Amino acid sequence: MATTTERNGTGRGLGARLRATSKVLPEHARAHNRSLVLQHLFHEGPTSRADLARATSLTRVTISDLVSVLITEGLVEELGTRPGQRVGKPAILVGLRTDAYQIVAVDLTEYGRMRGAVLSLTGEIMVRRQLDIDGRTGDELVDLLTRFVRRLVAAAIHPVIGVGVGSPGIIDLDGRVVEAPNRGWYDVPLAEILGDRMGLPVHVANDANTAALGEFTYGGGSSGMLVVTVGAGVGAGIVVDGVRLHGQGDAAGEIGHVTVVDHGECACGRVGCLETVLSVPALRRAIADRTPEDSDAALASAGRVLGVTLAPVVSALNLTEVLLSGPRDLLDGPLREAALDTIRQRTMPAINSGLQLRMAALDEDVVLAGAAVLVLSAQLGVS
Residue 234 or 323 with smaller CB distance to Zn ion: 234
Single out the segment in contact with Zn ion by CB under 5 A; choices: 109-117, 131-139, 256-264, 296-304: 256-264
Q: 246-255 contacts: CB < 8 A, separation 24 or more? A: 246/173, 246/209, 249/170, 249/178, 250/170, 250/171, 250/172, 250/173, 250/178, 250/206, 251/170, 252/209, 253/206, 253/208, 253/209, 253/212, 253/226, 254/170, 255/228, 255/309, 255/310, 255/313
Closest CA to 280 of 112, 106, 105: 112
- Could you tell me the CA-to-CA distances from 91 to 51, 58, 76, 128, 298 in Å, in that order? 9, 18, 16, 40, 62
User: Is 258 a residue that touches Zn ion (CB under 5 A)?
Assistant: no
Instruction: Tell me which residues in 141-170 interact with Zn ion (CB under 5 A).
Output: none
* CB 31, min distance to Zn ion, A: 41
Q: Closer to Zn ion at the Cβ: 115 or 257?
A: 257
Binds Zn ion by CB under 5 A, chosen from 2, 50, 261, 268 = 268
Give the one residue of 273, 339, 360, 376 binding Zn ion; rule: CB under 5 A: 273
Nearer to Zn ion, 219 or 326 (CB): 326
Give the nearer residue to Zn ion in terms of CB position, either 257 or 336.
Answer: 257
DSSP-assigned letter for residue 121: T
The answer to whether residue 255 forms part of the interface with Zn ion (CB under 5 A) is no
Q: Interface with Zn ion by CB under 5 A: which range of 48-56, 207-215, 221-229, 250-258?
A: 250-258
- 173 versus 268: smaller Cβ distance to Zn ion: 268
Q: Dihedral through CA 267, CA 273, CA 277, CA 278, nearest 10?
A: -90
CB 93 within 8 A of CB 78: yes
Residue 176 interacts with Zn ion (CB under 5 A): yes or no:
no
> Least CB distance from residue 378 to Zn ion, whole Å?
32
Residue closer to Zn ion (CB basis): 24 or 258: 258
As a whole number of angstroms, the distance between CA 361 and CA 220 comes to: 8
Interface with Zn ion (CB under 5 A): 257, 266, 268, 273
